[in-house]
Chain A
Amino acid sequence: MTSKHRSDETQPAESTSEVRAADVALDTAGGALAPAIVPVSSQSGDPGHEQDSVIRKIVMGNGFVSVLAVIVALILGGLLIASTDAAVAKTAGYFFARPGDFLSAAWSAMTKSYIALFQGSVFNPRQGLQPLLETMTVATPLICAGLGVALAFRAGLFNIGAQGQIIISATLGAYVGFAWHLPFGLHLLVVVIMGVLGGAAWGALVGVLKARTGAHEVIVTIMLNYVALFLLDFLLNTAAFRRAGDNSPISPRLDDSATYPILIPGSRLHLGFLVAVLLTYGVWWMLNRSTIGFEFRAVGANPIAARTAGVKVSRATILVMALAGALAAFGGVAQVAGTEKVLTGGIAAQIGFDAITVALLGRSTPWGTFFAGLLFGAFRAGAVQMQIQTGTPIDIVLVVQSLIVLFIAAPPLIRSIFRLEPKKKNKKTKAAPKAALAHASGGAK
């Protein structure tokens, strides 16, 4: 075997931009398909993949680039905070007289906000680790919905519809939770099942439309989000969903028997978090260790080859969307049966959209999604504290989140910021991607 390593037919692509182009070539079967949503390095399952070259692992290292991306995004977010800070603006007026004032004002604006963020999400002297528990609570629906988005990504489907799936599942789960009165234990189970079935159906609808009519899932999911939103709005204005004698659009509180038990007294952290951990493991197992996951990944990476190998692509499409909807639905159930305990128009908040960035930051791997969910949960939990303490609007979280994902999607950008990959002015690198492309497509041109 060793003698074959040196084979002149398999050139290792040298610069990382070539690797990237090779990835694109792999992704697109030589340009025939749109580039995959999932990084090529996460597309294969485990079998045999651990022997990837050590150098590639470090330089292309997903974790490494991700950490750098988070740092750069936080710095940019900090600059934005500083730029709108009153003290900074004042000191900028006499910048040339006393630049030190300006710099220290800018530094303090940045650090004040981030310290508040940290104190609101991980630890502060007054509450100890209590904020961390809040972070885990906020992260629970993000992780579930993120898994739903990630799973669809792996099968080559763009599930923008987590928001709608959460809304539908929360609505159904909540209704069963406050309108039906069932024995302890059974009640929660029925709430979960109804909610998850609702989300699965809402997701499967997309799969069916895609498989049967070819309607693009991006359009259908976006539109279904709005349909779900207006449906919820309509229901909350009917007598069945309103509190007796109250006209405001809030549902009655869910029965105690219908809610997730609290895990740690004094916090909001509930059983839903453990469910999210189990789901993460479950999705990992399904994708990497089961035949269903193999089919999903094959359909995602090359639907034509999958079909030729006997995979029923349309069935896989419907199944994936149903499962993705079900996963997002666990997030919706966690919202009504765990965190909020009532149904309101804003029950889904931005979770469904955050879930997309969560899945992207997690590179569509289940555990990556889990930790990305925790991180963004921390942002969400901490931002509330930050707004109270420093007046920095919560919207800064959106900026940081989207910057992180943009940077992660373009590793060469991050590397050039950190000069990990000195930019070659040499002309020959210009055509290099094509070499990798030609190479990846077998050199048969």
Chain B
Amino acid sequence: MKLELKGISKAFGTFYANQDIDLVVESAQIHCLLGENGAGKSTLMNVLYGLYEPTAGQILVDDRPVSFRGPADAMAAGIGMVHQHFMLVPVFTVAENVALGAEPTSFGGVLSMDETRTKIREISKKYGFDVDPDALVEDLPVGVQQRVEIIKALVREAKVLILDEPTAVLTPQETDELLDIMRQLKAGGTSIVFISHKLREVQAVSDVITVIRRGKVVGDAPPTASATELASMMVGRPVSLSLDKAPAQPKETTFVVENLTVRAANGTNVVDGISFDIAQGEILAVAGVQGNGQTELTEAILGVQEHVTGSVTLDGKQLLGLPVKEVLRSGVGFVPEDRTVDGLVGPFSVAENLVLDLYDQAPFASGISMKPAKVVENAKAKIEEFDIRTPSAGSAAGTLSGGNQQKVVMARELSRPLRLFIASQPTRGVDVGSIEFLHKRIVAERDVGTPVMIVSTELDEVVELADRIAVLYKGKLVGIVPADTPRDTLGLMMAGVGPEGGSDDK
């Protein structure tokens, strides 16, 4: 099936997320859409999948114009989509999720799931998926959930499969498996639109690469194009793919974590006996696929996790068991992993968010009385210093772009003398310009002699920032390795295989 987009524009108010986009996906091809976060790739695919109505332009399937009023129409036309955030109902079984929307029923709308189960087994067998139709989705690991999503599309006989950032949640090995599946599907005649911002994957599997920047097509590139070429197309200017960073000058070790264990509500150890330490003037980056205990690890240090054992000491002081406020007062700067959920209070003004954990401290308060003038004054200074683009200090923080929201969080956490700096996913969903800025600030914090702990699921970011790399897998520390460890080794570690050379005990 040939799919063509002609002059597609999609406006939200006065803002064009997509402008005049032309794209042709040929039959049995892997067509990659490359672009930074926020470039408009997902919007375009949501238009194609019928979730958004285009402001202008046309979609053609096999040269015939079609118009989709909703995903049902798109699916009927042979388009399937695997969303970046899986569209699976957690409390449903695999079969129920697959059936949803096109349920086989007997008389009177009564469900007959056997048909769906059979189909799931067939597809599982054909592509080597190991999926039990009667398993509850919430019990499945993300990798398997992704396969359920693919099955959903295949059951509906999709001829074009859209994969939106499918590798974000996968280990490098799982990613390779997915790329194989994509090749297999292609061989079977399915076209694939592969959305990614990861150059390596794109180069590995694409037939054609289309680069999108700020809602417009910048141009096509062959898969043989170099990483530097692709990156500068993406960003719109020559970029250096590496950060200029002086070698670390580690001093005294002041932050020590010993045998830290966090038990989840279901009784499993989500963080399992982790020990490490960080010296002043050093960045330890924690790598791992999402959901391997990183969130719980940082939250346990901050003191918001329950059921924690072990020991966390900063400057010789035990942090475990202290209230969050005390931990912060001990000089811990903490950038949480999801700014919209736990980093910012969206409806609060930028000024208020900039003092979110300092509101009861001098000079912003004396006793229980706050000093609004000081709060605004502080905001003006931080907006200047961190180049936060906001209409005013009084604008609701939630209305800013992702990069600027992240700057607000970072500005707040770096605005006092720190003894330890922890940042989770410091640049997730942030544009390249802001990423460079934020990375420089993190390195600057290291250079003034603060121990820094970075948690990131982006291997590129880990490699770029780290002086040492710790890898987590299923709540356990697989090992701590030097920053120049080969990617293959890191990839294996992220899948739970220990590093060669037995550097297990750092």
Is there direct touching of A and B in the complex, by C-beta distance under 8 Å? Answer: yes
> Is the beta-carbon distance between A10 and B389 smaller than 8 angstroms?
yes
CB of B496 closer than 8 Å to a CB of A: no
> Is the beta-carbon distance between B42 and A435 smaller than 8 angstroms?
no
> Is the beta-carbon distance between A289 and B328 smaller than 8 angstroms?
no
For B238, what are the chain A residues with a Cβ–Cβ distance below 8 Å? none
> Is the beta-carbon distance between A442 and B402 smaller than 8 angstroms?
yes
CB of B205 closer than 8 Å to a CB of A: no
In Å, the complex CA distance between A5 and B394 comes to 13
Give the A-B contact count at a CB cut-off of 8 A: 223
Partner of A440, one of B55, B346, B360, B375: B346
For A425, what are the chain B residues with a Cβ–Cβ distance below 8 Å? none
For A246, what are the chain B residues with a Cβ–Cβ distance below 8 Å? none
B154 CB to nearest chain A CB (Å) = 24
Partner of A26, one of B37, B324, B346: B346
> Is the beta-carbon distance between A9 and B345 smaller than 8 angstroms?
no
For B327, what are the chain A residues with a Cβ–Cβ distance below 8 Å? 310
> Is the beta-carbon distance between B339 and A442 smaller than 8 angstroms?
yes
A2 CB to nearest chain B CB (Å) = 11
CB of B348 closer than 8 Å to a CB of A: yes
Binds B, one of A40-48, A219-227, A371-379: A40-48
Binds B, one of A116-124, A183-191, A256-264, A301-309: A301-309
CB of A297 closer than 8 Å to a CB of B: yes
Known contacts A310-B323, A428-B11, A439-B399, A292 near B368 by CB under 8 Å: yes
For B38, what are the chain A residues with a Cβ–Cβ distance below 8 Å? 443-444
CB of B336 closer than 8 Å to a CB of A: yes
For A354, what are the chain B residues with a Cβ–Cβ distance below 8 Å? none
Interface residues of A in 17-64 (CB under 8 A from B): 18, 22-23, 25-27, 29-30, 32, 36, 40, 43-53
Interface residues of B in 388-430 (CB under 8 A from A): 389-396, 398-406, 428-430
Partner of A442, one of B11, B304, B352, B405: B405
CB of B107 closer than 8 Å to a CB of A: no
Known contacts A11-B12, A435-B17, A5 near B391 by CB under 8 Å: yes
> Is the beta-carbon distance between B376 and A289 smaller than 8 angstroms?
no
> Is the beta-carbon distance between A45 and B405 smaller than 8 angstroms?
no
Known contacts A48-B394, A304-B341, A428-B53, A435 near B348 by CB under 8 Å: no
> Is the beta-carbon distance between B13 and A305 smaller than 8 angstroms?
no
> Is the beta-carbon distance between A14 and B389 smaller than 8 angstroms?
no
Which residue in chain A gives the minimum CB-CB distance to B400?
A: A10
Partner of A48, one of B328, B339, B379: B379
Partner of B53, one of A10, A301, A427: A427
Partner of B346, one of A15, A47, A301: A301
In Å, the complex CA distance between A410 and B42 comes to 31
A–B pairs, 16, beta carbons within 8 Å: A1-B383, A9-B389, A11-B13, A45-B352, A47-B394, A289-B369, A291-B370, A302-B342, A302-B346, A305-B344, A307-B342, A308-B336, A436-B13, A439-B401, A444-B37, A444-B402
Given contacts A29-B346, A50-B394, A302-B341, 15 further A-B pairs with CB under 8 A are A10-B404, A12-B391, A18-B12, A26-B346, A26-B399, A48-B351, A48-B352, A48-B372, A49-B349, A291-B365, A295-B359, A309-B328, A311-B324, A432-B13, A442-B405
